[in-house]
Amino acid sequence: MSKKIFSFAFFAICILLSTSAVGAESGKTLVENSANFDGKTVVLRGEVIGVMERGDFAWVNVLDGEVAIGVWVRNEDARKISFVGDYRHVGDLVEVVGTFHMACPEHGGDLDIHADKFTVLTVGRGLDRPLNMPLALLSVALAAGAITLALYLRHVRREREKMVPVPSY
């Protein structure tokens, strides 16, 4: 349960950070008002959840807690990223200032942001995911119990079959 509370708290903080930032738009606002923002300079803050280098540039997927958007950044900027968010890591919190495209002509119609300025605000970190020992012991006991029961009942059924002939239908 503590993991769940932690996750909710983390994402609530992310959303608050991104929406309360001066001038920063939330990913949801950008997606839902993309026609208004098309071709304009926007600011997006969020957690890095993916980096893919493509030649001199890279795609950095940024999640603001609710919606993730692809950001096209220069390689030297992408290399500033230390942590990519996943189950075992909190990704770097970054701020992107760039041109928003509702349907980018350069990238097959994707909704994206071409970054002019890319800043790492907070370096991410590794997450400790401790084993819940009582649950682990319970799971081993249940697994052992289930297998033992299955084998025992199979044995009993076979013994019964030997004793009582099964009528044929």
Interface contacts to other proteins, rule CB under 8 A: 1, 3-4, 7, 11, 31-32, 34-35, 49-54, 58-59, 61, 63, 67-68, 70, 85-88, 103-105, 107-112, 129-132, 135-136, 138-140, 142-143, 145-147, 149-150, 153-154, 156-157, 166, 169
C-beta closer to other proteins: residue 13 or 153: 153
- Output the smallest distance, CB 21 to other proteins, in A: 21
For other proteins, the closer CB: 21 or 59: 59
In sequence order, the 6+-apart residues with CB closer than 8 A to the CB of 123 are 82, 83, 92
Are 112 and 104 spatial neighbours (Cβ–Cβ below 8 Å)? yes
Bridge partners, 57 (sequence order): 54, 74
Which residues, including other chains, have CB under 8 Å from residue 12's CB and lie 6 or more apart? Answer: 65
CB of 89 to other proteins, least distance (A): 9
> 84 or 97: whose CB is closer to other proteins?
84
- Cβ closer to other proteins: 22 or 34? 34
Token pair 């300025």 in the structure block, residue:
117
- Report the amino acid identity of residue 137: L
Considering the complex, what minimum distance in angstroms separates the CB of residue 22 from other proteins?
25
Contacts of 154 by beta carbon, 8 Å cutoff, 6+ apart: none
**Closest distance to other proteins from the beta carbon of 13 (Å):** 13
In whole angstroms, give the CA distance from residue 90 to residue 82: 10
